[in-house]
């Protein structure tokens, strides 16, 4: 399987992972505190080589986790870097197992913890690949420490591996349920587009990405012209059908890298990262023309678009959205079915 498809992350999954990492960060901090207590207990009860190996294991894992947590909001390749994080941590645990006694090592139970994390955080082929790496590192660490002893106690090793797989199966089911619920929370059920919550998460993520001042960001606020009259004269069922057709048109007109959101009612937004001012205006015009072409007859539906673009190290994209709203108002006031731009 190509690496690109293995680590591919859809926008819904990326937003789910970003929010999940933000929510579990307090738990991760408590985990670090627990590791400190474990290290203190090891210092009091184990020989020096175990102390050194344990300290190195915790230190490397802490550095990797910290680096990934800092970069999660900035990267576009979230699944890849989260996978790298887990590979490094599992490898470190395998090395610690080899150094501190193989099957008798206090590091062995941690493989079950990593299997649980993998089941919760990942899905599909990537989850299975990472679980396979857990098995490889567990077996490798035990055999490097004492291969003859491990073969004599093959039943214990098999029990640990079975425990890892069982924990992974259980947490995979939990992760699937959580993933479905969170996906529903950031999706608009009527149109299938991302919703306002997803828009706010994307804004927060882009502000981190644009922190160095090099990434320009454009926001296009879109509103249907005369949609209330459609609901009043044709009914809400017809109005819902119009919204679905508009959503299809916006997605077809936007670039594959652009994200289209339904913020509520007949209000839509499109976020363009890395777009020039001309690109933003061109895409706005494509969106407007696409909706006009999608409704050539009755009911007559058109789109007004407000465009705002900004770039800078201290970018506040909710302010950019407000500027785009003002540009949208100018498009409405100027006769509708138009694209207007404003400077943020």
Domain ranges of the chain: 3-185, 196-343
Burial class (CB in 10 A: 0-12, 13-18, 19+), 21: middle
222: left (phi over 0), alpha (psi -120 to 50) or beta: beta
* pLDDT at position 173: 86
- Helix, strand, coil percentages for the chain (3-state, nearest 5): 70, 10, 20
One of 3.20.20.210, 3.30.70.270, 3.40.50.80, 3.40.50.300 is the CATH number of 196-343, namely 3.30.70.270
Tens-place pLDDT, residues 67-85: 666 665 555 566 677 787 7
Q: Say whether pLDDT at 31 is over 60.
A: no
pLDDT at 160: 93
Give the pLDDT band (50/70/90) at residue 1: very low
pLDDT number for residue 254: 92
Task: Return the pLDDT at 22.
Answer: 61
What is the arithmetic mean of pLDDT over 104-120? 86
Asked if pLDDT for residue 338 goes beyond 70, the answer is yes
Q: Cα dist. 169→131, 173, 174 in Å?
A: 10, 7, 9
* Rounded to 5°, angle at Cα 20 from 14 and 134: 85
Q: What is the distance between the alpha carbons of residues 143 and 127, in angstroms, rounded to a whole number?
A: 25
262-314: per-residue pLDDT in tens? 999 999 999 988 788 899 999 999 999 999 999 988 788 999 999 998 877 66
Higher pLDDT, 254 or 216: 254
Q: What CA–CA distances, in Å, run from 279 to 219, 258, 274, 287?
A: 12, 12, 9, 12
Q: pLDDT value at position 191?
A: 93
Residues 148/136, Cβ–Cβ less than 8 Å: no
The top-scoring range by mean pLDDT among 16-25, 56-65, 197-206 is 197-206
What's the pLDDT score for residue 268? 97
**pLDDT of 9 over the 60 cut:** no
Give me 152's structure tokens. Answer: 């004599």
Tokens, residue 94: 């395998």
Confidence (pLDDT) at 44 = 60
- Return all residues near 188 (Cβ < 8 A) that are at least 6 apart: 194, 195, 261, 262
Q: Is the pLDDT of residue 131 over 70?
A: yes
Give backbone dihedrals phi and psi of 213, rounded to 5 degrees, phi first: 85, 0
The conformation of residue 9, written as its DSSP 8-state character, comes to -
| Mean pLDDT of the 302-329 span | 87
The DSSP element (H or E) to which 271 belongs, if any, is: strand 267-273
């Amino acid at each position: 399987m190509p690496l690109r498809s293995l680590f591919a992350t859809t926008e819904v999954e990326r937003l789910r992972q970003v929010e999940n990492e933000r929510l579990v960060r307090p738990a991760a901090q408590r985990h670090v505190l627990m590791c400190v207590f474990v290290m203190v207990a090891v210092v009091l009860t184990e020989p020096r080589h175990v102390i050194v190996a344990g300290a190195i294991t915790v230190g490397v894992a802490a550095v990797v986790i910290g680096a990934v947590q800092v970069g999660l909001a900035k990267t576009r390749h979230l699944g890849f870097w989260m996978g790298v994080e887990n590979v490094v941590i599992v490898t470190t645990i395998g090395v610690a197992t080899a150094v501190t006694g193989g099957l008798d090592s206090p590091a062995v139970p941690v493989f079950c913890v990593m299997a649980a994390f993998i089941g919760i955080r990942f899905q599909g082929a990537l989850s299975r690949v990472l679980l396979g790496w857990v098995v490889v590192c567990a077996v490798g660490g035990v055999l490097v420490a004492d291969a003859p002893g491990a073969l004599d106690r093959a039943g214990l090793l098999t029990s640990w591996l079975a425990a890892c797989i069982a924990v992974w199966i259980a947490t995979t089911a939990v992760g699937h349920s959580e993933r479905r619920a969170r996906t529903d929370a950031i999706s608009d059920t009527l149109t299938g587009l991302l919703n306002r919550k997803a828009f706010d998460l994307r804004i927060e993520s882009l502000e981190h990405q644009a922190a160095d001042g090099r990434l320009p960001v454009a926001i296009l606020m879109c509103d249907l012209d005369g949609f209330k009259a459609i609901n009043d004269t044709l009914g809400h069922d017809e109005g819902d059908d119009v919204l679905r057709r508009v959503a299809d048109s916006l997605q077809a007109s936007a670039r594959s890298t652009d994200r289209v959101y339904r913020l509520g009612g007949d209000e839509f937004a499109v976020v363009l990262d890395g777009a020039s001012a001309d690109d933003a205006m061109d895409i706005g015009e494509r969106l407007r023309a696409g909706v006009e072409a999608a409704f050539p007859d009755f009911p007559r539906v058109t789109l007004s678009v407000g465009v705002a673009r900004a770039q800078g190290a201290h970018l506040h994209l909710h302010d950019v959205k407000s500027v785009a709203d003002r540009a949208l108002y100018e498009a409405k006031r100027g006769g509708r079915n138009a694209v207007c731009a404003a400077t943020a």
